[in-house]
Structure formats: structure tokens, C-alpha cells
Structure 1
Amino acid sequence: METQKNNPLHGIKLEQIIIELQAYYGWEYMGYQINIRCFTHDPSVKSSLKFLRRTPWARTKVERMYLKMLKNKTD
């Protein structure tokens, strides 16, 4: 799809985003940046996926954090 070629999130699963963020930042920092229970209380990829799939505002914040992480890795 031509419209997606400049979208760095295109083709990346939410699970992959969470796993990469957790490996890069850790749950504690993620919970500090985005104060959601699935990051601060007994965090797991499974609980995060469940919450983020039904909570658009939180998913948007996580996607922004991921884009920022990608930018930090390339700088």
C-alpha cells in the first residue's frame, strides 16, 4: 500500500512494540512515562496487549513512545 510507505508502524504488531519497549526501557520506566496499570502492577506482555487493544488513547501513547525509541536508536 503506497500510503503506508513512510509509516514506521506499518506492519509492526502491537506485541512486537511492547516487547521492544520493555527490552529497551523496562516496565518501571514505561509505567512512569505512561501511568497505566498494565505497566505498573504485575506487568506482562499479555496484560498490556489486552488493555491496549481496547484502549485507543493508551495505545496511541505507547506507539508514540515506540517511535521516540526508534528515533533514539538511530541518533
Structure 2
Amino acid sequence: MNNNPNNPFHGLKLETILVKLVEFYGWNELGNKINIRCFNFDPSISSSLKFLRKTSWAREKVEKLYLNTFSN
């Protein structure tokens, strides 16, 4: 993530992004939209953050969904 103010994620933590998506969709729907194990089997914010921090393709999908869901 770039520290550029033009970056849509500037100032947003991954945890904040994930929490907002879970509050909006719930784990079941989030797991349907992004089919990764940490969303579908015994999901938690902690385990999902660990996975997303290590797996760039999954993080990119989460960030894209966040933008598509919450961009004005």
C-alpha cells in the first residue's frame, strides 16, 4: 500500500476494511463473494487478517470488494 493521499486506502487499516465488510455482508455472504477458507470455515477477524497479510491476491480481492461496496 502506497502512502499517497490519492490512494483510496490511505489511512485505512486492513482490519477496518475487513470489519466493515463483515458488518455489511456477514461472514456467509462475504465467503460467497470471496471464496477463501478463512471466510467460510470458522471465520474470525484475527485468522482472516493473518491470511490476508500473507496472501496478496486475497487482499486485493478484499480491497476491490471494499471499493465496489463503499465508494461514492
SS of alignment partner, residue 20 of structure 1: helix
CA shift, 1:8, in A, is: 1.7
Tell me by how many angstroms 1:15 deviates.
0.4
Which residue is equivalent to 1:15? 15
Alignment root-mean-square deviation, CA: 1.2
Q: Which runs of 5+ in 1 are unaligned?
A: none
Instruction: Give the SS at the match of 1:4.
Output: coil
1:46 alignment partner in structure 2: 46
SS at structure 2 position matched to 1:26: helix
Q: TM-score, normalised by structure 2?
A: 0.90
**Partners of 1:48 and 1:70 in 2: how far apart?**
20
Structure number with greater Rg is 1
Higher relative contact order (CA 8 A, sep 6+): 1
- Percent sequence identity over aligned pairs: 56
Measured after TM superposition, the shift of residue 65 of structure 1 is: 0.5
Unaligned runs of 5+ residues in structure 2 are none
Query: What is the letter of the counterpart of residue 6 of structure 1?
Result: N
> Residue type matched to 1:30 in 2?
L
Matches within 5 A, 1:23-42: 23-42=23-42
TM-score normalised to structure 1 length: 0.86
- Cα deviation for residue 39 of structure 1 reads 0.3
Count of aligned pairs between the two proteins: 70
Note the 1:56-75 alignment, pairs <5 A: 56-71=56-71, 74=72
